[in-house]
Amino acid sequence: MNTERGHEKNVPTDVYLSFVSSLFDNRFTLFTGMVVHILTFVTVYVQTGASFYLFLCACFVAVFSFRLNSFFVFDREDKSKLTRQQIAAWERRYVIGGASTAAILGVGSGYAMLAFEDTFAELACIAVTMASMVSVVGRNYGSRLAVDLQTLACCVPMIIGSLLAQDLFKALLSLMLVPFGLTVRSMANGVRDFLYENVLASREMAKIADRFDTALSNMTHGLLMLDPNNRIEVVNRKACELLSLGDRRRLVGCDLDVVLRYGVRHTFVDGAMSSLLQKQLAHLVQGLSSRALMHFSEDLVLEFSAKRRDEGGVVLIFEDVTARVHADRKILHMARYDSLTGLPQRGYFIDLVRERLERSGEFGTIVGLMILDVADFKHVNDLKGHLTGDKLLVSIASRLTAFAAGKAIVGRQVGDHFICFFPNVEDQDDLEDMMRSLHAAASADYDVEGMRVPVVFSAGAVLVESASFDMDDWLVKLDIALFESKARSRGSFTLFVQEMDARYLERQRLKADLRAAVDQHAITVVYQPMFTPDGRGLVCCEALARWHYPEKGPIAPNIFIQIAEEMGIVTEITQQVLRRACFDCCTWPDTIGVSVNLSVHDLRQGDLVASVESILAETGLSAKRLHLEVTESSLIEELSAARAVLDRLRALGITISIDDFGTGFSSLSYLDTLPVDVVKIDRSFVRNIGQDGRRLKLLRGIVSLTRGLDIGIVVEGVETREQLSLIKKHNCADLIQGYVFSMPIAAHTITALAEEAEVNGIAAHAGVA
């Protein structure tokens, strides 16, 4: 019993209230039972003449009045405010009424068994009592106490009456009431427990359903669950928002085709769009495609995916990818078009040329390519700044596009190189005249920020048959023609002729010889020292690659390094120079370090850090004595990759420098995010600082910002005593590199030069070039 009461206490209050409320529900059965009870006892009175049954009838009326009043009072209660104790009080009140009714029935039956030999009286009383006991299961399952007390109130008086009657058979029969009562009790408890478990299960299911509905409603994706007949079973709020379908509750059971064709509130997609959608969705379900991208409008693009359900039907999940599609378009546009000039970039320009050539009737005609190189564009950048240079390029692009409208496709090749494609022209001479006219029209004065900037172009052109389309070959011929233009005179136009191939072949031979030189480790190294501004401290030496061509003598580094980059062997040269520099540095005083340049190709090599570690281990040089230089342009091209590589190199203890600082398109903000120890300011900022006050101010501004980031400063290209004096006066450098102190020298002379500087200082020789 204690266990059962404990179980009652564990029932949630609202469930407990529902059980107690069920006791007060069946008014009609209560009234019917009371009428049957009274009529039964009146009949027994008429049959036996025992006035005791009239007394019991009066008791029935009194109890019925009490119970009826309790029902009415309970009806007026605000159930939502009832506490658990108040609910228990109402349960006890009901139990008193029910147990009283059961006790009257039990007493009447026990008295009949004791006082009469009349079979009718006994049968009538016992029958109505047994019926009441059975009804306990249906009416009073909500209260264990009610079931127990009513069962006892009915059975105990009958057992006592049977035993007092001293009739063996009645006594044995009355004992059968014990299992009967236990069965009734067990049945009532079973009903209550079953209902209790179902109530809890229903509550849990309701919670799960509510959570599921909440999750669906808050999904960022739209969801439609369809049955095998393509009818909607589940739709979430996001789906209705994306497809403008209105109230989702109205969509359940609707055919998807109808919903998409007509919508709920207004037409959203036309019939053709709905059919296309169904076709794509069918492909999804059949596994013919993984996703379907639907362009409903310029402002709405949805991406669908589908999954077949085991029981049939399909689940559609879709999301608004409009922003992503617009971003992809923007990215594609950025990949295809130059961000500065808006012209097609090289790759997309080639695609446009190929597309034009593939048009019907284009093959077999003469087409032309022309490349335009802005003469002395670097001079514009140096004198007027990169911002002015960029604006000049924009103006040039606009003028070329205007002049070439309807005649040619204009693209930006690289840097200050522009390329034009002239589709089929009937007469070759006319095509050449057209190209020369465009070259002449583009060469003019340009107005940039109120300044007139005269621009001339060196131009190379090639005329070929469209059927022999080979862009790589065409570009080689263009480069040859452009080289010839630059060699002849500034601003000239040169049309490629077959004899120019000899020069190309010569370049190819140069490539082969360079390949052999690298394989034979014929690339030598010289070093340009970096001194403290007073010339008394040789701190570091920059390693410079040199190639002495057996037939033509020394080849300028800017030539053979460019060729090496074209051949993809510049990393091999870097490693040879790095190894040689580390070996040489080990022969110098410990206070002197060595600096080696890295190209953008080196930064792209996945094994760069491992190669550097291996060379340091092989040569025995301390990582602290090694400086690695990267140019701004290489950082811009490979910013994310460069950051990761430089972080790992710096973690080894290597000093990281940015070479030619200020000549690229980056900003000082990069210095705050990159692992940089030293900035090498390009020589263009030093040139004419004695005559041009703006250049000196620019130099000092860069130095001030850089020092604020605790980054060391090396000034390159210092050639005159006047430049050195100004740099020292304004404290613009930690180290000086330039001919004012020393030209590049051999490794074995470094130690002697360092000793001389420490003792006497290095005399600055103005005018040395």
Structural domain spans, the chain: 2-204, 219-326, 339-496, 523-760
Q: pLDDT-derived band of residue 7, with 50, 70 and 90 as boundaries?
A: very low
Eight-state DSSP code of residue 249: G
pTM (2 d.p.): 0.44
Asked whether the predicted pLDDT for residue 6 surpasses 60, the reply is no
Percent of the chain with pLDDT over 90: 18
User: Model confidence over 397-443: pLDDT tens digits?
Assistant: 898 998 888 888 899 888 888 999 988 766 778 888 888 988 888 88
503: buried, middle or exposed (CB in 10 Å: 19+, 13-18, 0-12)?
middle
Q: With H, G, I as helix, E, B as strand and everything else as coil, classify residue 622.
A: coil
The second-level CATH assignment, the architecture, of 339-496 is 2-Layer Sandwich (3.30)
Query: Amino acid identity of 117?
Result: E
- Of the candidate ranges 13-17, 50-54, 575-579, the one whose mean pLDDT is the lowest: 13-17
| Residue predicted with more confidence, 463 or 292 | 463
Q: pLDDT-derived band of residue 497, with 50, 70 and 90 as boundaries?
A: confident
Say if CB 470 and CB 462 are below 8 A apart.
no
Percent of the chain with pLDDT over 70: 82
Average pLDDT (247-268) is 67
Asked whether the predicted pLDDT for residue 751 surpasses 90, the reply is yes
Average pLDDT (262-289) is 59
| Residue predicted with more confidence, 297 or 1 | 297
pLDDT of residue 275: 63
Check if 219-326 and 339-496 are the same fold. no
pLDDT of residue 574: 93
Average pLDDT (279-304) is 72
Average pLDDT (563-585) is 91
Overall CATH class of domain 219-326 = alpha beta
Average pLDDT (687-711) is 85
Computed over every residue of the chain, the mean pLDDT equals 80
pLDDT of residue 107: 84
159-173, 662-676, 721-735: which has the highest mean pLDDT? Answer: 721-735
pLDDT of residue 588: 95
717 backbone dihedrals φ, ψ, rounded to 5°? 70, 25
pLDDT of residue 136: 64
pLDDT of residue 195: 63
Q: pLDDT-derived band of residue 103, with 50, 70 and 90 as boundaries?
A: confident
Average pLDDT (110-127) is 76
| Residue predicted with more confidence, 634 or 630 | 630
Average pLDDT (182-189) is 68
List all residues 6 or more positions away from 536 whose beta carbon is below 8 Å from its beta carbon: 757, 758, 761, 762
| Residue predicted with more confidence, 572 or 18 | 572
Asked whether the predicted pLDDT for residue 342 surpasses 60, the reply is yes
**Bridge-based pairing state of the strands 292-297 and 409-414:** unpaired
Average pLDDT (311-335) is 82
Average pLDDT (576-599) is 94
Integer CA distances (angstroms), 356 to 332, 413, 425, 460, in order: 20, 18, 13, 22
Integer CA distances (angstroms), 205 to 62, 197, 503, 538, in order: 45, 12, 84, 82
pLDDT of residue 410: 92
Asked whether the predicted pLDDT for residue 448 surpasses 90, the reply is no
Asked whether the predicted pLDDT for residue 135 surpasses 80, the reply is no
- Ordered DSSP codes for 251-312: TTT-BHHHHHHH-SSS--S-HHHHHHHHHHHHHHHTTS-S-EEEEEETTEEEEEEEEE-TTS
Asked whether the predicted pLDDT for residue 269 surpasses 60, the reply is no
pLDDT of residue 665: 47
Q: With H, G, I as helix, E, B as strand and everything else as coil, classify residue 362.
A: coil
Closest by CA to 659, choosing from 535, 524, 532, 530, is 530
62-66, 73-77, 446-450, 545-549: which has the highest mean pLDDT? Answer: 545-549
pLDDT of residue 3: 41
CA gap 562, 570 in Å, rounded: 8
- Of the candidate ranges 213-227, 646-660, 747-761, the one whose mean pLDDT is the lowest: 213-227
pLDDT of residue 192: 64
9-18, 478-487, 543-552: which has the highest mean pLDDT? Answer: 543-552
| Residue predicted with more confidence, 633 or 350 | 350
User: Model confidence over 186-244: pLDDT tens digits?
Assistant: 666 666 666 666 666 666 776 776 776 677 767 778 888 888 887 888 888 888 878 77
List all residues 6 or more positions away from 410 whose beta carbon is below 8 Å from its beta carbon: 343, 344, 397, 400, 401, 404, 418, 419, 420
457-471, 528-542, 752-766: which has the highest mean pLDDT? Answer: 528-542
Helix (H) or strand (E) holding 377: helix 377-384
List all residues 6 or more positions away from 429 whose beta carbon is below 8 Å from its beta carbon: none
pLDDT of residue 140: 64
SS3 helix, strand, coil % of the chain, rounded to 5?
A: 60, 15, 25
Angle of helix 177-217 relative to helix 144-164, nearest 10 degrees, comes to 170
Average pLDDT (717-741) is 92
pLDDT of residue 177: 67
User: Model confidence over 47-102: pLDDT tens digits?
Assistant: 888 888 888 888 888 888 887 888 888 888 887 788 888 888 887 887 887 778 77
pLDDT of residue 315: 82
pLDDT of residue 267: 42
CATH homologous superfamily of 523-760: EAL domain (3.20.20.450)
